[in-house]
Amino acid sequence: MRTHPFALSVLAAGLVLCLPVPAGALVLQATYNTPGSAFDVDVVGNLVYVADGNAGLRIVDISNPVAPFEVGFLDTAGFAYGVDVVGDLAYVADGSLLRIIDVSGPSSPSEVGSFDTGDPGTPVKVEVVGNLAYVADGDTSLRILDLSSPAAPVEVGSFDATGFVNDVEVEGTLAYLTISAEEVPGLQVVDVSNPAAPVSFRVYASPGFPAGLDVSGTVVHLADGPAVDLIDVASSPVTLLGTFALPDPFDDFVQDVDAVGDLVYVAGSTFHFSGSSGWLRVVDFSDPSAPVELEFHSTVRTLRRVEVSAGLVVAAGLEDGVRVFAGGPACSDGLDDDGDGFVDFPDDPGCRNAEQNTENPRCQDGLDNDGDGGTDFDGGEAALGAGNGDPDGPDPQCVGRPWKKGEGGGGCGLGFELAPVLGLLAWRRRRVGRDRPTAGSRRASLRPRVRGD
């Protein structure tokens, strides 16, 4: 069979017209190497607060994502594992202490108070809600501290988790803990409506090794060793909605997750004989029973934590420091992705919510994609400007739904994008047919030319 380069190139061009921009795409902007080991990050506005191991608290400015720089630090006496920033105070899990640090002046943070959890506790993560700090205290338990006086925190309650508490997140009156234990590792949900007397609410016995988690309502994304589990704790027993398994169940390990809508940003590591390497994955959980990996970015060392904020993905990479990616949902990335003159939800009529991954739906592109005589949800004015819409009015498939990705049969699929391709191929064939000589004309062209012919 003879290959026609022209046909192939035109076909490829036609197909490219309809390839969407991948949701959750990651583009590395910069890496900032902190002096210690970046174990945790909390992003607040343009500042990244880094729990940097033996280098304490570091504060990094990412207002220009391609050129982050340190604006201030406090080299604590312990080993900084976790950080949570609320208002002008940073709460740092540091050695055997929870340290409370005034960051109202980021260039010169100063400690204002602390709480010693005592042996054998090791605070590794903290979340502050109102006047209470929920401390994942390693080998001992969940500790609940009253922060009404930041200079002198007071313990008001605790919960014995019978294992090593790796992470804590609070949603409403429930605290979610990841527990690593030889007998029954898993997810422990604790009712903290009475902080002085927390009680067990739900338990999920994990098949893996739980590390980080992210909670939305009653749904938990759990970093569970070689997998990410999606769990609904609304009823007892809890419901496992889906699992994303990593390629190598023996050497791959999920350290942390951050979910934005259906997209889950997964930070982790792969162990080798010579050490370990890291990676960041983006997984689409829109169908929990069949999650799909969309993006993969490798790093030299383990990625320990990940946080998505305002169109940026920030990862703590131990020896790799802080990595900043452009990413996150298109409807909250600060860009005019579809060129319609509007940026992000709620200003962009093509964005149903801030967590939407596509900012280019058919129902607001100014085209009659399905050929039914109507254009877009408002006749095309959202894309073309007031007074420039379709005189036939809006497309009934799109009325009131600018975010709709399809317009009737949709603009892409094996049909729309092939129309220009097939037209060009037909033109090329007619052109070749006209130019091809007939048998008689070919013989005539081969005769020697004689003067006078």
pLDDT one-digit tens code per residue, 107-160 = 999 999 999 988 778 999 999 999 999 999 988 789 999 999 999 999 999 999
Return the number of other C-beta atoms located less than 10 Å from residue 43's C-beta.
Answer: 20
Mean pLDDT of the chain: 82
| C-alpha–C-alpha distance, residues 354 and 314, integer Å | 18
**pLDDT at site 9:** 42
State yes or no: pLDDT of 432 exceeds 50: no
**pLDDT at site 241:** 97
State yes or no: pLDDT of 286 exceeds 50: yes
Taking the CA of residue 282 as centre, how many other CA atoms within 13 Å lie in the half-sphere pointing to its CB? Answer: 23
Q: Specify the higher pLDDT residue, 265 or 434.
A: 265
C-alpha closest to that of 54 among 72, 70, 78: 78
State yes or no: pLDDT of 256 exceeds 90: yes
State yes or no: pLDDT of 85 exceeds 90: yes
pLDDT one-digit tens code per residue, 341-382 = 788 888 887 787 777 766 767 787 777 777 777 888 888 887
| C-alpha–C-alpha distance, residues 359 and 427, integer Å | 35
pTM of the full structure: 0.72
148-157, 252-261, 270-279, 433-442: the lowest-pLDDT one: 433-442
**pLDDT at site 452:** 39
State yes or no: pLDDT of 423 exceeds 50: no
State yes or no: pLDDT of 449 exceeds 50: no
Percent of the chain whose pLDDT exceeds 70 = 82
Please name the amino acid found at residue 43: V
**pLDDT at site 358:** 66
Return the number of other C-beta atoms located less than 10 Å from residue 192's C-beta.
Answer: 23
Question: Tokens representing 123?
Answer: 């605070």
State yes or no: pLDDT of 450 exceeds 70: no
**pLDDT at site 444:** 35
Percent of the chain whose pLDDT exceeds 90 = 53
End-to-end alpha-carbon separation of the chain, Å? Answer: 40
Between vectors from CA 247 to CA 244 and to CA 248, what angle results, nearest 5°? 120
pLDDT one-digit tens code per residue, 378-418 = 888 877 778 888 888 888 888 877 777 667 544 333 333 33
Distance of alpha carbon 402 from its chain centroid, rounded?
A: 24
**pLDDT at site 11:** 37
When pLDDT is cut at 50, 70 and 90, the band that residue 182 belongs to is: low
Q: Specify the higher pLDDT residue, 84 or 389.
A: 84
Question: Tokens representing 3?
Answer: 């290959």
115-129, 182-196, 323-337: the lowest-pLDDT one: 323-337
12-26, 225-239, 292-306: the lowest-pLDDT one: 12-26
State yes or no: pLDDT of 453 exceeds 50: no
Strands, E assignment, 247-377: 252-260, 263-272, 275-284, 292-299, 305-309, 312-316, 322-326
pLDDT one-digit tens code per residue, 34-81 = 999 999 999 999 999 999 999 999 999 999 999 999 999 999 999 999
**pLDDT at site 10:** 36
Q: Is the dihedral of CA 400, 402, 406, 410 positive or negative?
A: positive
**pLDDT at site 130:** 95
State yes or no: pLDDT of 20 exceeds 70: no
Helix, strand, or coil (residue 226) = coil
**pLDDT at site 368:** 79
Q: Mean pLDDT over residues 11-22, rounded?
A: 38
**pLDDT at site 43:** 96
Question: Tokens representing 120?
Answer: 């054998």
Q: Specify the higher pLDDT residue, 209 or 336.
A: 209
Domains of the chain, first to last: 24-328 (2.130.10.10)
Q: Specify the higher pLDDT residue, 279 or 7.
A: 279
Q: Mean pLDDT over residues 424-435, rounded?
A: 48
Q: Specify the higher pLDDT residue, 93 or 417.
A: 93
Question: Tokens representing 209?
Answer: 């090794």
| CB contact at 8 A, 47 and 61 | yes
Kind plus residue range of the DSSP H or E element containing 7: helix 5-16
